[in-house]
Structure 1
Amino acid sequence: MANETPSVKMLANLREKLKPLNIPIKFKLPKQDTLEPFLVIGQSSSDTSKTAQTGLIIEDMSVQIDIFLPGTESRAGVEKIKSEALRRIGHNRNVNASVLLDDTIGREVYHIVIALTDTIF
């Protein structure tokens, strides 16, 4: 769409890059009865302090990607999915990833948290 903002394009681009993982992609955390695996392209924030008074908007956009996998998944399988997701996202200015066991959704699951920041124009 011609009226899409750079941030909307970035989120759509992330979705396209992550589709080959064959994990359902959401943009908000689903209800508690939704079983894993699923991926949430969620929390985002932006900083436009690099933008000059006139001209092109320069935006540092931070996005958090959460991948939820069944607690029965092997740790090696979880690490493989994390690596594949990072590879598919590609090179960004700043990417951090962690793996944790999480029971905040009412059952123990593996939770991969990927936080990335990229400059968009």
Structure 2
Amino acid sequence: MSRRKKSFPCGHKGYGQICHRCAHEQTIWEEKKQQKNAWEETFTQDPIDLRPFPKNVVLKARQILQGLANQQDYREFHGKRLRHDRFVISIPVTRHYRLICRDHGNFLTPEAVISHEDYNVCKPGR
């Protein structure tokens, strides 16, 4: 006696009680959702909002912020003081993004990560 393929509600055909293709896709979807939730939870620890930026910018900005928290000098990250306001420091995160910090004498306070286009158009700190 030959076996007949069963039509599942999803439209796939196969043998067994469940559609294994859809079950596999469901597990992959759940894993991706867990990874996304874990990534979103990491933003709660950041001193500034890094959510709208790409992943490589976020990782590099976190590395710089961690170095600044450990009392590393901003010049180690190629940071420069702005000409119009010497208390504002610009640290390049990537080629297109800058971390803006304010100097308070013995420590730096990170204010924002901005794109290089925004950085060139309006001078931050004014």
Give the alignment's TM-score, normalised by structure 1.
0.26
Higher relative contact order (CA 8 A, sep 6+): 1
Judging by fraction of residues, say which structure has more helix: 2
Say which structure is richer in strand. 1
* TM-score, length basis structure 2: 0.26
Task: Mark the structure with the bigger radius of gyration.
Answer: 2
